[in-house]
A and B are shown apart, each in its own frame.
Chain A
Amino acid sequence: MTPLDAPRRPGIDLAAPSDEPAGRTRFGVVGGRGTRLLAGPPRSQGREALADHDRRLPPLDLGWWSPTELRDEIRASGLLGRGGGQFPAATKLDVAAAAAGTPIVVVNATEGEPASRKDKTLLELRPHLVLDGADVVAAAVGAHEVVVYLHRSRGRSTAAVEEAIQQRRLGRPPGVRMRVVDAPGGYVTGETSAVVSFLDGAGALPRRTAVPAAVTGVGHRPTVVNNVETVAHLALVARYGARWFRESGSPQSPGSTLVTLAGAVGVPGAVAETLGPVTIGEILATVGGLDTPPRAVLLGGYAGTWIDGEVAWRTPLERHALRAAGASLGCGLIAVLGHDACGLAETARLLRWLAGQSAGQCGPCFLGLPALSAILDEVVAGTAGRRDLRRICDMAMSVRGRGACGHPTGSVGLLDSAIETFDPELRRHLRRQSCEAAPGKGYFPLPADYRVRA
C-alpha cells in the first residue's frame, strides 16, 4: 500500500471561500471552487498559527516516505518551479540528491519583482505551509539545514516566518534546522547563483557557473534553491499526492498557480489563485474588476513580455498558450495597462529602473541597458527619429543573450515586446505627435528608494 492510499485523503474542506466579494478581493479564486495554497482562514485574520494549521490540514508524516519515494511522487506531480524559470522541481531534487555531500535547502523569498506579492502573501498568511514545504524538500534530498532567504525590510513576512520557525521548534523532535538569512535588496539578488554567492559570504551577485547550484553550491554542497510558492505546493503534494495535485492546472503545467495583479485593476496588488484552465481575461474580469480588454498586459514581471490587451484577454494562462503568444508566466505577475496610458512611456520608465538594477558586472548590461533606456526616453519625449529606432534595435541585438544572468536578456525582451505591441504609439511618438498619456505617469509600482545608476 502506498502512502497515498487510505487515511491520506481525509474529507478536508479545501473549498474555504474568502470572506470578501469577488472583484474587490485581494484574495481571489478563479476558475474553480476551492483554493489550495490560500485555503484556510480569510486574509483579515492574518497569519495562521501552528495550531490552526495543524487542525486544518492532515499531519505531514514525512517518516512515511523514503527520500526516493518522495522524489518520485514529486516527479509524478509534474510541479514546475514558480520562481519564473519553470524548472521541473523534481529534477532539481534528483540532481541534488545524487550529488556528493549533504544538501542544503534554500527557500528563496526575495521576490525582487516590485509588483509581485504572491510570495509575500504566502509567507504572511501561511508561513507554516511554506515551512512544511521546506521540510518536504529537506526530506526529499536528505538535508538537515533550511535557509529562508528573505529581505528583512519586508517586515511582515519576516515576522511571520520567524515566529513560525519559533513555534515549530517547540514540542517537535529536532530534525531540520531552519534559519532566516537577511538578503540584500535589489532585483538580481534573488537569482539562484546570486543566492549561493551571498550565502557563501561573497556579494549577492549572479555568476555564470559551470555546474548548477543543485550539484555544488553553498560551501561546495548541493544547494536546492526553490521559490516560496514551489515549496508551498510541495507541502500539499506530500499530503494529498501527485494525482490530487494534477487535478488542477493543465497537463503541461499542473497544479494551481498564484498570480499578482498590478496596474489598472480594481485592487492593484491582489493575489489570486487559479485552479483550472482560465484565460487572462477571466482573471481580470473576476479578480481585477475589468469588463473589457485593457490596452495591453505585461506578463511575467517587469523584464517580461507585453501582450496586446485583446490577445491577452482570450489567451489561457497556461504555459504552451503563453509561449505561442511569445510570453511566459514568469513570476505570475499580470500588470495591466489601461487605455489612458502610453505603453512606451511606461516601458521607458520600467527600462530605466531595470537598467539601474544591473549588478554592474557585465558591460553589455551596465552600459547597454542605460544606453537603450536613454534612447527610449528620447523616443518618448518625441526627440528621436527613425535612425534612433534602428540604433535601439541594433543595440538590443548586442545586449541580448549576454552577461552572467538573464537580466540584460529579460530587459531587452521588455523593450522588444513594447516595440511590437505599441506600434501605433511608436509611430505617433516618432512623428512627434502628442501622446495621450501624461509623461511619467507611473502605472506600475517601483520601489520608492530606487536610484538610477550613474
Chain B
Amino acid sequence: MAGMRLVIDGSRCDGHGICLLVCPELVSLDEWGYASVDEQPITEKTILARARRAVTACPVGALAILPATAPAPPVRRAASSARLADQWAATARVS
C-alpha cells in the first residue's frame, strides 16, 4: 500500500461526481462539478480502498491509482480506444 496515489486525467472528467460520493476524503468538486483530486500519497488503508472504488466507479475512466513514485498520471490510451470510451460514455449518459 505504501506510496499509492489517486490521480485524475482532467481531460476525461465529465463531472459525473460519483467519485465524490465514493471517496470524499480525496475528491472535491469545483463550482462546475468537475473533480479535483488530492494527488498526495495515500496513507490510510480505508481511504485507499475508497479510492479504488472511485476508480472503478468513474464512468469515463478519468481516475487511476498509481505508485507515488510514478512521474505522472494515467497512461494515454490509443486514439481508437479513447474514441470507444467516449462513445461508451455518451451512451452511458443517455441510458
Greatest chain B CB density within 10 A among A363, A365, A404 is at A363
Do residues A395 and B73 form an inter-chain contact, with CB atoms below 8 A?
Answer: no
Interface size on A, residues (CB 8 A): 27
* Pairs A–B under 8 Å by Cβ, sample size 28: A200-B79, A202-B82, A206-B11, A207-B9, A208-B11, A208-B74, A209-B75, A210-B70, A210-B71, A212-B71, A361-B10, A361-B11, A362-B10, A362-B11, A362-B34, A363-B13, A363-B14, A363-B30, A363-B33, A364-B10, A364-B32, A364-B34, A364-B36, A368-B30, A402-B10, A402-B36, A403-B10, A404-B9
Total residues of chain B contacting the partner, CB 8 A = 23
B-contact 0/1 string along A196-213, CB 8 Å cutoff? 010011100111111110
The answer to whether A403 touches B71 (Cβ under 8 A) is no
- What A residues does B70 contact at CB under 8 A? 210
Report B1-30 CB contacts with A as 1/0, cut-off 8 Å.
000000001110111000000000000001
Complex Cα distance A211/B74, Å?
Answer: 9
Q: How far is the CB of A219 from chain B (nearest CB, A)?
A: 10
| Contact B76 A363, beta carbon cutoff 8 Å | no
Decide yes or no whether B72 CB sits under 8 A from chain A: yes
Within 8 A of B (CB), among A356-400: 359, 361-365, 367-368, 395, 398-399
Contact with B along A325-347 (1 / 0, CB 8 A): 00000000000000000000000
Contact: B72 with A208, CB < 8 Å?
Answer: yes
B interface residues with partner A (beta carbon < 8 Å): 9-11, 13-15, 30-34, 36, 66, 70-76, 78-79, 82
Task: Report yes or no: B11 in contact with A395, Cβ–Cβ below 8 A.
Answer: no
When distances are taken between beta carbons in the complex, the residues of chain A under 8 Å from B66 are 210
4 closest cross-chain pairs (CB), A and B: A202-B79, A363-B34, A404-B11, A361-B11
Of A200, A365, A404, most B-chain CB atoms within 10 Å: A404
- Contacting B at CB under 8 A, from A269-290, are none
Nearest residue in A to B78 (C-beta to C-beta)? A200
Residues of B within 8 A of A210 (CB): 66, 70-76
Pick from A197, A211, A362: contact of B79, CB under 8 Å: A197
Which residues of the other chain, A, contact B76 by a CB distance below 8 angstroms?
A: 193, 207-210
**Overall SS of chain B's interface:** loop
CB distance from A307 to the nearest CB of B (A): 29
- If A193-B76, A362-B13, A363-B30 are given as contacts, then 5 extra A-B residue pairs at C-beta distance below 8 Å, sorted by A number, are A205-B11, A207-B9, A362-B10, A364-B34, A403-B10
Nearest CB on B from A210, distance (A): 4
Q: Looking at B9, B30, B70, B76, which has the most chain A CB atoms within 10 Å of its CB?
A: B76
In the bound complex, residues from chain A placing their C-beta under 8 Å from that of B82 are: 202
A78 to B62, CA, bound (A): 37
Docked pose: A206 CA to B31 CA in angstroms? 23
- Which residues of A are found within 8 Å of B71, using beta-carbon distances? 210-212
**What's the nearest-Cβ distance from chain B to residue A264, in Å?**
37
Chain B residue nearest to A368 (CB atoms) is: B32
Q: How far is the CA of A208 from the CA of B8 in the complex (A)?
A: 9
Within the complex, the shortest CB–CB distance from B37 to chain A, in Å, comes to: 10
Query: In the complex, how many angstroms separate the beta carbon of B36 from the nearest chain A beta carbon?
Result: 6
Residue numbers in B under 8 Å from A403 (CB-CB) = 10-11
* CA–CA, A398 and B30, complex, Å: 6
A43 to B67, CA, bound (A): 53
What separation, in Å, do the CA atoms of A200 and B9 have in the docked complex? 19
**Chain A residues with CB under 8 A of B10:** 208, 361-365, 402-404
Interfacial chain B residues near A212, Cβ < 8 Å: 71
Q: In angstroms, how far is the closest chain A Cβ from the Cβ of B27?
A: 13
Q: How far is the CA of A367 from the CA of B10 in the complex (A)?
A: 13
User: How far is it, in angstroms, between the C-alpha of A78 and the C-alpha of B71 when the chains are bound?
Assistant: 23
Q: Which residues of B contact A361 (CB under 8 A)?
A: 10-11
Query: Which residues on the A side are within 8 Å of B74 (C-beta)?
Result: 208, 210
**What is the CB-to-nearest-CB distance from A361 to chain B, in angstroms, rounded to a whole number?**
4
A193 to B74, CA, bound (A): 13
- By a CB distance below 8 angstroms, the chain B residues around A365 are 10
Closest residue of chain B to A367, judged by CB? B32
Given the complex of chains A and B, what is the CA–CA distance between A210 and B11 in angstroms? 14
Q: Encode A404-427 as 1/0 by CB contact (under 8 A) with B.
A: 100000000000000000000000
A213, closest chain B residue (CB): B76
